[in-house]
Structure 1
Amino acid sequence: MSKWTSARIPDQTGRTSLVTGANSGLGFQTARELARHGAHVVMTARSRTRGAEAVTRILAEQPTASVELRLLDLADLDSVHAFARKISDDGLPMDLLVNNAGIMWPPRTLTRQGHELQFATNHLGHFALTGLLLGSLEKSAAQGRDTRIVTISSVEHRGGKIFFDDLTGEHGYSPRTYYSQSKLANTLFGLELDRRLRATGSTVRSILTHPGYSSTNLQSSGPTGALRFAFAKIANPLLAQPVEKGAWNQLYAATAPGVQGGRFIGPDSRGELRGHPTTVQPDRAAQDLDVARRLWETSENLTGIRYAL
């Protein structure tokens, strides 16, 4: 794994990949590299305009790239259901799902279904999407295809906690604390999904990754006021690595031969803020089996999705 970069991505010809939040940042870079290496890439975005602009950028660089845009709002479970239904109706094969889209540190906001926005977008939407697409992924795996689910966490999952008695933040919301909750939920989900897939003998692999500290619009789309200024003018220019390098971790998890399910891929520097992909250890809280099972059951209840595992 030493010094892996996107130049080492193997040929992806014949594979279909779905990347959520692909109109900018890590998602765009992931979609761009997968397409560059031959994959058919389904790019999702909430905005048709921004999504179309992202597709145009890729095609301008790679005129023969195979990419398509589909609209998806992960904060709205109705949108997730409609999106997955259309994928199924179109008979689109699925070899790779990259659960990338996210939001960070917004003011307390509730979704149409009454969920806290970060928990809904970062975790519940991806939990539902993965469950709804699992049949398509299993079908590809049954044909002997390399089939993976890559879920993007964050170093901010460390020190996080799942507030089962106050998931919406009604009694004590903090933007950063509830972002950490959502990223811990991503990690708990990815690891529990791996355990459940293995228990059924499935060859679909659930892999976790985080990008370290990467310069994206995540820091400017959620935080407000002084926080947004601090990221844009101070922290990002001084500390963040380029988005191209941040995306190495999820691209490695998505494409590198031999990556096992249950692995957590992150940057190799001290503090895991920058560098080349390596296997890192999730926080102890993410390895709590009782919390993982409780979160799974809670997520099923909140989304109405029951996995066929």
Structure 2
Amino acid sequence: MRLLQIIMPVLRNYYIAMTVLLQQLFRRSSPLPVLPQRNGKVAIVTGGARGIGFHTAKHLARLGMHVIIVGNNESDGRQAVTRIQQDTLHEKVEFLFCDLASMKSIRNCVRNFKAKNLDLHVLVNNAGVMLEPEGKTEDGFEKHFGINYLSHFLLTRLLLDTLRKSGTNDFNARVVTVSSATHFTGKVNLEDLQSSHCYSSHGAYAQSKLALVLFTYHLQHLLTVDGSYVTANVVDPGVVNTDLYKNLCYLGSFLKWMTGWLLLKSAEEGASTSIYSSVSPDLEGIGGCYLYNGERIKSADVSYNIELQKKLWTESCKMAVLPVSS
């Protein structure tokens, strides 16, 4: 029984991955439309030093935004800032340290950002880990749940007041959260959010990605209720050739090496939906959507479960030591 509980998430995840890869074989990604300049607007991108996050940050900088890359590697962050400044000839790019495996670090990061007295028009929750061996964050949370989901839940909640103040009727502030098609295989077990009963890295990863979708939908509901000029959407970048696959088994790594050039998107292609969701006029004032290849599609049926959304929100508030109200 225990073996089955470990194997099933693996099979479900690889089935979804193969389905997406076959789709990508015939349609890699929709080209980005011409997007308007957003001079003077401010964006935060977590995990912006590498991969999808880097190309998201770079494109937003090219559109004239003041971009703040958030990450846990000072050297990588500074190098990314320099590269983006050189490539875009845009100086307003900077780095803020934040270890998403530490709630203390997240709170410090937010304090450091707010000390700059800047507005915040776009928050891109992009950073994440995948297929990590069983382990805990500094605060004792399972790594996938803690880093992929709970850290961004806390970061978003702490920045929500700034987002609300920055959003206007003409230009709503935006929360863009990166999930994946793996959420279709995910199960959010409110009794075992830490995957302690029977750990599977595939199952834990899928749960964290489903949690991000549930969170986004409930956040949008709360924002709509209080009339905030802030929207929240979730994006699926597809299967992208990034460092996230470093924990693949030997066979998986070999297959990725053999076929990645043909089947996997580049990091730049993977960033396109995040960029589109961050600044496209087509999404002005529109939230609560799941986007793939720049189009709104249906997410997993369970993600629309309002009771589950509420319960996960409440549990997340307890874990992050936050009031339940937004």
Pair 1:228–1:93, CA change in 2 (3 A):
farther
Find 1:38's aligned residue among 59, 64, 86.
64
* 1:1-309 equivalences in 2 (<5 Å): 5-6=31-32, 8-142=34-168, 145-220=171-246, 223-226=247-250, 229-230=253-254, 232-259=256-283, 260-267=286-293, 277-306=294-323, 308-309=325-326
The letter for the 2-side match of 1:234 is M
The letter for the 1-side match of 2:240 is S
- Deviations along 1:116-154, one digit per CA (max 9) or x if unpaired, are 001111110000000000010010125854310001110
Bigger mean CA offset, 251-260 vs 3-12: 3-12
Distance across 2 between alignment mates of 1:4 and 1:256: 14
Distance across 2 between alignment mates of 1:149 and 1:21: 15
Aligned-pair CA distance for 1:228: 6.0
Root mean square deviation of aligned Cα:
1.7
Pair 1:86–1:228, CA change in 2 (3 A):
farther
Distance across 2 between alignment mates of 1:39 and 1:231: 39
Aligned-pair CA distance for 1:246: 1.2
Q: Tell me if structure 2 keeps the 8 A contact 1:106–1:224.
A: no
Aligned-pair CA distance for 1:39: 0.4
In the alignment, structure 2 segments of 5+ residues that lack a partner are 1-28
Greater helix share, structure number: 2
Q: Tell me if structure 2 keeps the 8 A contact 1:20–1:101.
A: yes
Aligned-pair CA distance for 1:53: 1.2
Q: TM-score, normalised by structure 2?
A: 0.87
Secondary structure, counterpart of 1:172 in structure 2 = coil
Distance across 2 between alignment mates of 1:289 and 1:227: 40
Runs of 4+ in 1 over 6 A off after TM superposition: none
Aligned-pair CA distance for 1:295: 0.4
Q: Tell me if structure 2 keeps the 8 A contact 1:110–1:168.
A: no
- Deviations along 1:189-209, one digit per CA (max 9) or x if unpaired, are 001100110011112001111
Q: Tell me if structure 1 keeps the 8 A contact 2:61–2:90.
A: no
Distance across 2 between alignment mates of 1:203 and 1:307: 20
Q: TM-score, normalised by structure 1?
A: 0.91
Q: Percent identity?
A: 33
Q: Tell me if structure 2 keeps the 8 A contact 1:123–1:182.
A: yes
Distance across 2 between alignment mates of 1:308 and 1:89: 24
Distance across 2 between alignment mates of 1:281 and 1:78: 36
